């Protein structure tokens, strides 16, 4: 069996994930978001610096760049490429996230991967995603810490995937890996949270 479909999907996923949409949207406004706010190239920092419209746009684009290549790999591209199996699908998912986290166009320094992971999870396990989103919204609503909401949702993904995707070992492994990666990428936020130095999120933009 040819491995070319697997290789093409995985490569396309990395390239899709590597598009730094939030940084690009900031540049359209004459701002390099790496030099402001948290310095992160994700949608949360874009929201804080450029406002609600830009932040929501960045969030949607970062989510789509994870979802679309995994969706294509799962169902195939009619007349061009067939769908692939769970192991290759799992690799496609992780490479989409890695493209964002280790963006080659920005010196292999990217965002924390939350929105791109969200896109990947939406395709791999919608019920796991919905449950994790509920955790995120609850924690954010109570604490107004985006980082704590993201960490809590990532941690919650691990038991949820075993509940909602029984017997799908490749998907279970890769979702646990991606969740762990998101938590590790928040290590500086964890330190700030422990020291009471983390910025709270304002739904109108800006930090408090």
97-148 confidence digits (pLDDT tens) = 999 999 999 999 998 999 999 999 999 999 999 999 999 999 999 999 999 9
87 located within any domain? yes
In terms of phi and psi (left: phi > 0; alpha: psi -120 to 50; beta: otherwise), the region of 110 is: beta
- pLDDT (mean) for 170-187: 94
33 located within any domain? yes
**What pTM did the predictor assign?**
0.89
- pLDDT (mean) for 67-76: 97
9 located within any domain? yes
Tokens of 40: 């992160």
202 located within any domain? no
Domain count for the chain, please give it: 1
201 located within any domain? no
Q: How confident is the model at residue 205 (pLDDT cuts 50, 70, 90)?
A: low
204 located within any domain? no
Q: How confident is the model at residue 208 (pLDDT cuts 50, 70, 90)?
A: very low
200 located within any domain? no
203 located within any domain? no
Strand segments (E) across 107-186:
none
| Structural domain boundaries, residue 118 | 4-194
Looking at residue 1, its pLDDT comes to 54
Looking at residue 44, its pLDDT comes to 86
Q: Are 179 and 114 in contact (CB under 8 A)?
A: no
């Amino acid at each position: 069996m040819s491995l070319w479909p697997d290789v093409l999907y995985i490569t396309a996923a990395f390239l899709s994930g590597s598009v730094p949409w939030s940084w690009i949207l900031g540049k359209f406004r004459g701002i390099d978001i790496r030099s402001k706010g948290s310095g992160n190239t994700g949608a949360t920092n874009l929201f804080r610096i450029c406002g609600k419209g830009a932040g929501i746009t960045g969030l949607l684009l970062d989510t789509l760049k994870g979802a679309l290549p995994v969706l294509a790999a799962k169902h195939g591209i009619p007349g061009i490429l067939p769908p692939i199996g769970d192991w290759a699908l799992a690799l496609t998912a992780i490479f989409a996230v890695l493209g964002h986290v280790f963006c080659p166009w920005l010196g292999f320094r990217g965002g924390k991967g939350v929105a791109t992971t969200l896109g990947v999870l939406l395709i791999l396990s919608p019920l796991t995603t919905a449950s994790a989103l509920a955790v995120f919204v609850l924690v954010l609503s109570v604490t107004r810490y985006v980082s704590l909401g993201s960490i809590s949702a990532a941690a919650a993904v691990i038991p949820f995937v075993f509940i909602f995707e029984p017997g799908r070992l490749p998907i279970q492994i890769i979702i646990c890996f991606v969740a762990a990666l998101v938590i590790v990428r928040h290590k500086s936020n964890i330190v700030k949270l422990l020291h009471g130095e983390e910025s709270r999120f304002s739904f109108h933009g800006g930090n408090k």
